[in-house]
Amino acid sequence: MKIFKWKLNEKIVAVIAIICFVVLCLLPLLMIGRYDHPCADDYGYGIDVRNAWRDTHSLVEVVKAAVGRAEHTYETWQGTFNSVFLMALTPAAFGEQYYAAVPYIMLGMLTLSILYLAKVVLHDLLKASYANTCIIAIISLFMMIEGIYTPASAFFWYNAAIHYTFMQAVMFLMVAFVLRCVTADKKAVRIATCVLAVFFAYCVGGGNYLNALISMVLIVSVSLLFTVLYIVNKRSKKTLKEKKYTYFYLSYLPLFVFVVAFIVNVSAPGNAVRGGNFADISPIVAILRSFASGFKYCGKWMSLFTFVLLILALPAIWTSVKKTEFRFRFPLLVLLFSFCLFSASFTSSHYGLGQEGLPRTFNNCKMLYHLLLIVNEVYLIGWLQRILKKSSKEKVKKFGINHGVVLYAIVSLALAGVFLTCGDKEAEYPSYAAAKYMKQGFAVHYHMQYLQRLTILSGPEPVVYLREIAPKLHVLYVDDITTNPNDWRNQHYAVWHGKEQVILVPWDEWTEP
């Protein structure tokens, strides 16, 4: 039993966690990115920037073209002006070969946002060590990436990923900067983080409505919370130096900018045009349906893989909250707020689309779900420690495993067992699927079919027939042109390649020219 007393240095655990995350999770997804290619809306939104870059090679003209596309879409289709501006800047507009950068942009932004959010909450506010902060953040990223709903639209399809995954990361950074600007001790840090919070609030306010709604709830809640804490502290008997939350008012600056950007967003004439294509549902019905969706997916998305990862985070979380001065009160209230926030992630889809969501919106809902699981785990363990400290300090000391070797070994073996016994690893774990597709040559075959298309499209024929791509690798494939030359996807594809018509030929009907 002495083995239970063995301890690993938390820095070593953090290094191991980083290596596992990079090698097992990130690298396969980044490496298969070389076989990634644009599709569907990439062509329609990026055509102006492509033409500007091809004709002038001027970044000024490129920005003008992106702004022009955002203005046009604002009037004719949707008000998400910041997202549309970024959509227009698809890497494919500068060359097909640059589209391989898409997973680097999306995974890099998501990783950066979670690491910084964890740093602010765990290290800066709860005073956890950098090592434990890193461990918890890495486990959160593992859950979010490996548990993603559809990896293709989350990390590889630029148009959807920049609109949802990227903006979700921007939202996480906005929350982190708001928290930091209110709680920072140094004036320079407060000013810098406040400016960044304002900028990211503007970005989210002009982005998709899913993240805009969640951001509004979060930023209003944070502003009100710090205002109440300031009032309570002001009335206390503490000296001026001991009082906190003096700079609560800084949270209202990003809130104001966000509200202005959001009002401009929802006021777009194009929203009425797009809304005419979907069912008209009242806000109250949409909210009620959102709570039903929240209940549904709270259970549906709690997989055994996620549960084991939550257990794996226990030692780092226990150590992180052990010495903090923060009082973890009302855990049920935090749980209820988290559920309402998670349910709200379905509201925009119910109201705007008349359904729970699209695969790309489910990506954001599920990432938020996994992050809220970690948040509630931290809060619940903090509350539990507070209860134990009141009853007996000795119980707390005995209860704390503090990175026991056996616990990590058992949980790691359980995690490996969950993975090995999974019936469909390709569908459940995108990193595994990416590695398998590359090893068995499917990714190269997928890539060669697309290059063959480019060869055909480079010819002088005004009407082009293209063979259906098969197999459709779910990590990379999202959508394609159709057999109907008048389909909007075919039309955008034809304009992009300078053709009058492009027509898809089913795989089994294709004959070599």
pLDDT averages per 10-residue partition of the chain, 513 residues: 53 89 94 93 93 92 94 90 94 92 96 96 91 94 94 94 95 95 89 94 94 93 88 64 70 94 91 70 89 92 90 87 84 93 92 86 95 94 82 52 58 74 78 93 92 90 90 90 92 92 85 67
pLDDT of residue 409: 67
pLDDT of residue 421: 72
Strands 501-505 and 463-467: parallel
Any idea how long the chain is? Answer: 513
DSSP letters for 274-306: HHTTS----HHHHHHHHHHHHHHHHHHT--HHH
Sign of the Cα torsion 71, 77, 82, 83 reads negative
- Encoding tokens for residue 277? 């294509």
pLDDT of residue 428: 84
pLDDT of residue 236: 61
* 195 residue type, one letter: V
Give the span between the Cα atoms of 476 and 447, in whole angstroms: 10
pLDDT of residue 45: 93
CB 490 within 8 A of CB 482: yes
pLDDT of residue 260: 95
pLDDT of residue 388: 77
Helix/strand/coil for 31: helix
Sign of the Cα torsion 364, 339, 379, 245 reads positive
| Of residues 81, 92, 89, 84, the one with CA closest to residue 37 | 92
Give the span between the Cα atoms of 191 and 51, in whole angstroms: 40
pLDDT of residue 404: 54
Give the span between the Cα atoms of 502 and 485, in whole angstroms: 6
pTM to 2 decimals? 0.91
pLDDT of residue 218: 93
pLDDT of residue 33: 93
| Of residues 193, 41, 55, 170, the one with CA closest to residue 114 | 170
